[in-house]
A and B are shown apart, each in its own frame.
Chain A
Amino acid sequence: SQKIEQNSEALNIQEGKTATLTCNYTNYSPAYLQWYRQDPGRGPVFLLLIRENEKEKRKERLKVTFDTTLKQSLFHITASQPADSATYLCALTRYGQNFVFGPGTRLSVLP
């Protein structure tokens, strides 16, 4: 069955640095991949979507890459701020199928 892993359960970085989160998957060929942010006690919030034929997407301080050969997506937050502290989830899907979410990485940006 498909499996999604996210690099680590928790990641601590210093304010101003670039945070890089990893999403790896096996036994799956997603049509597209999404990244969400989740704060404690709240539902996830959609951030970015990247399709299987796209290599990179950017939105303000966020950048996502998608390598279907490596079966990996990287999520970067540049010039990180304490307000970026949250859990970040990747989600994969094929057309007509449900989204499969990774376990998430809890990011803490230290002032």
Chain B
Amino acid sequence: KAGVTQTPRYLIKTRGQQVTLSCSPISGHRSVSWYQQTPGQGLQFLFEYFSETQRNKGNFPGRFSGRQFSNSRSEMNVSTLELGDSALYLCASRAPGQGTGYTFGSGTRLTVV
């Protein structure tokens, strides 16, 4: 079965712009989480969506937002980009039930110049 698909794979944006990243989870997975990964901070949790509702939120400013659609696809948006937003953004989905592992996508590499 298809894995988690993230688009685009690479993005270059200018400070002050906004960006939207897309994630298609594995079929049947209703939980989608987003993480930011940087060399200095590692994997930092952004938010989790389940059945179109935000279930958990990390400690990121309001410039970072997300949503989930009825088909479980998810998007995250970053407005007013800053240089420090340059990172690998990873989306992960999980099967229903407790104790299941994430399946991650390959990520979107965002560079802010």
For A91, what are the chain B residues with a Cβ–Cβ distance below 8 Å? 102
Check if A32 is an interface residue, CB within 8 A of chain B.
Answer: yes
Tell me the bound Cα distance from A52 to B104 in angstroms.
24
The reply to whether B90 and A43 contact each other, CB–CB distance below 8 Å, is: yes
- Taking the closest CB of chain B, its distance from the CB of A15, in whole angstroms, is 28
Check if B107 is an interface residue, CB within 8 A of chain A.
Answer: yes
The reply to whether A51 and B104 contact each other, CB–CB distance below 8 Å, is: no
For B58, what are the chain A residues with a Cβ–Cβ distance below 8 Å? 98
Tell me the bound Cα distance from A103 to B4 in angstroms.
23
A-binding segment of B14-22, B40-48, B66-74, B76-84? B40-48
Tell me the bound Cα distance from A50 to B84 in angstroms.
35
For B45, what are the chain A residues with a Cβ–Cβ distance below 8 Å? 98-100
Check if A46 is an interface residue, CB within 8 A of chain B.
Answer: yes
Contact mask for chain A residues 26-41; partner B; CB cutoff 8 A; 1 contact, 0 none: 0000011010100001
Query: Nearest residue in B to A104 (C-beta to C-beta)?
Result: B42
Check if A69 is an interface residue, CB within 8 A of chain B.
Answer: no
**A interface residues, tally (CB under 8 Å):** 24
Are A44 and B98 also in contact (CB < 8 A) when A100-B45, A102-B42, A103-B42 are? no
Give the residue among B35, B101, B107 with the most A Cβ atoms within 10 A: B101
Tell me the bound Cα distance from A34 to B100 in angstroms.
9
Contact mask for chain B residues 92-109; partner A; CB cutoff 8 A; 1 contact, 0 none: 100000111111111101
Check if A49 is an interface residue, CB within 8 A of chain B.
Answer: yes
Tell me the bound Cα distance from A98 to B109 in angstroms.
22
The reply to whether B99 and A98 contact each other, CB–CB distance below 8 Å, is: no
Contact of A46 among B33, B88, B103, B109 (CB under 8 A): B103
8 further contact pairs, Cβ within 8 A, besides A43-B90, A43-B92: A36-B102, A41-B106, A41-B109, A49-B99, A95-B98, A96-B55, A99-B33, A103-B42
* B interface residues, Cβ below 8 angstroms from A: 4, 33, 35, 42-43, 45, 48, 55-56, 58, 88, 90, 92, 98-107, 109
Q: Can you list 9 residue pairs at the A/B interface with Cβ under 8 Å? A: A34-B101, A43-B92, A43-B105, A46-B101, A51-B99, A96-B55, A98-B58, A99-B45, A104-B42
